[in-house]
Amino acid sequence: MDKKIVVALGGNAILTDDASAEAQQEALRKTAKYLVQFVKNGDNLVISHGNGPQVGNLLLQMANGSTPKNPPMPLDTDVAMTQGSIGYWMQNAMDEVLAENDLDKDVATIVTQVEVSKDDPAFADPTKPIGPFYSKEDADAQKAEHPDFTFVEDAGRGYRRVVPSPKPISVKEYRVVNHMVNDGIIPISVGGGGVPVVKDGNRLVGREAVIDKDFASEKLAELVGADSLIILTAVDNIYVNFNKPDQKKLEHVTIAELKKYMDEGQFAKGSMLPKVQAAIEFVENSDHGQAVVTSLENVGNFLSNGSGTIITK
């Protein structure tokens, strides 16, 4: 009750297999029905979300339709555009579900800039998958057309374009987010990991990259002094020996235990590993905070009986 919580939404909260606006809005209406349970519980929500599929699709759309007079926009601007579109869908869905539940609350999206280092080694080593999956042949054909693009095989599901993903240092608008949440408003912030910017004197200059939304959510949770960082994904729990006959669900786990499992290589790079790293960082850097990894569908159980993976000091 009355806790400040940052909830990071995974890909399945927005996009299933249909990338139309209508289908994503429908998915977000379902998501909002789960999120409203936190509001009913008396928690003060800050919502964040990913944008990997959407920002990659936007780049493709712009590449296909661009002319010299109507040029494609750079990736930092594309991240801001997806913050706007997904934020609009999300706040619209939340408004509807809050009204259905007779909850008088405002929801608003903040275009959020996230500071990164210009020297982050990630700029020279693209790792963040965006956009659609390709067959090997299609990825090779794209590479021939755009030699500067990098494609990698993504967890046995096909090939995807990858872009740099620098680590967040700070969230420019965190005080705005904090004012809003302290005033009872539900902010949607660091969407798509936030717009990557580097400091140049008084200017913040956009950089072409996509920040991991779990890391950006962690940084925001730290900066607003959240009680919990809740990472919602497609599984109810983190597992050790995931998808093996002897897989074991983690329920209450300390950061020391989680680090040991991480060192054993239990968490897949690019999927569960960043969530585990973000959870550890939040718990380590906050006085009293806990991190939770669970699914949207399990939010009710988490609130009633604490089911999910709960990470504490």
Ligand X SMILES: NC(=O)OP(=O)(O)O
Which positions are annotated as active-site residues? 11-12, 128, 213, 275
Residue of 184, 268, 284, 288 interacting with ligand ADP (CB under 6 A): 268
Q: For residue 302, give the amino acid letter.
A: F
Chain-centre distance for alpha carbon 168 = 13
H/E run at residue 49 = strand 44-49
- With contacts defined by CB under 6 A, name the span among 63-71, 115-123, 208-216, 246-254 that binds ligand X: 208-216
Q: Is 51 in the site for ligand X (CB under 6 A)?
A: yes
Residue of 57, 233, 286, 294 interacting with ligand ADP (CB under 6 A): 233
Our CB check for ligand ADP shows the closer of 267 and 282 to be 267
Question: Which residue pairs, CB below 8 angstroms and at least 24 apart, start in 133-139?
Answer: 133/157, 133/158, 133/159, 133/160, 134/158, 134/159, 134/160, 135/159
Q: How far apart are CA 232 and CA 65, in angstroms?
A: 35
Residue of 45, 90, 211, 238 interacting with ligand ADP (CB under 6 A): 238
Our CB check for ligand ADP shows the closer of 31 and 178 to be 31
Q: Is 295 in the site for ligand X (CB under 6 A)?
A: no
37 binds, among ligand ADP, ligand X, none (CB under 5 to 8 A by kind): none
Q: Give the shortest CB-52-to-ligand X separation in angstroms.
A: 3
- Sorted by sequence, the CB contacts under 8 Å of residue 311 that are 6+ apart come out as 253, 254, 255, 258, 279, 280, 283, 290, 291, 292, 293
Our CB check for ligand X shows the closer of 11 and 126 to be 11
What's the burial of 67, exposed, middle or buried (CB within 10 Å: 0-12/13-18/19+)? Answer: exposed
The DSSP code sequence of 242-255 is TTSTT-EE--EEEH
Q: Is 231 in the site for ligand X (CB under 6 A)?
A: no
Q: Is 109 in the site for ligand X (CB under 6 A)?
A: no
Number of residue whose CB is nearest ligand ADP: 10
DSSP 189: -
Our CB check for ligand X shows the closer of 129 and 308 to be 129
51 binds, among ligand X, ligand ADP, none (CB under 5 to 8 A by kind): ligand X
**Residue pair 196/206 in contact by the 8 Å Cβ criterion:** yes
- With contacts defined by CB under 6 A, name the span among 57-65, 209-217, 282-290, 298-306 that binds ligand X: 209-217
Rounded to 5 degrees, what are φ and ψ at 39?
A: -65, -45
Q: Is 11 in the site for ligand X (CB under 6 A)?
A: yes
H/E run at residue 292 = strand 290-295
Mapped onto helix, strand or coil, the DSSP state of residue 33 is helix
- With contacts defined by CB under 6 A, name the span among 46-54, 148-156, 238-246, 251-259 that binds ligand X: 46-54
Number of residues assigned to the chain: 313
Paired sense of beta strands 113-115 and 44-49, if any: unpaired
- With contacts defined by CB under 6 A, name the span among 117-125, 190-198, 234-242, 252-260 that binds ligand ADP: 234-242
- With contacts defined by CB under 6 A, name the span among 5-13, 29-37, 120-128, 199-207 that binds ligand ADP: 5-13
Q: Is 192 in the site for ligand X (CB under 6 A)?
A: yes
Our CB check for ligand ADP shows the closer of 63 and 234 to be 234
Q: How far apart are CA 241 and CA 245, in angstroms?
A: 8
Interface residues toward ligand ADP, by CB under 6 A? 10-12, 50, 233-235, 238-239, 242, 266-268, 271-272
Binding site for ligand X (CB under 6 A): 11, 50-52, 192-193, 210, 212-213
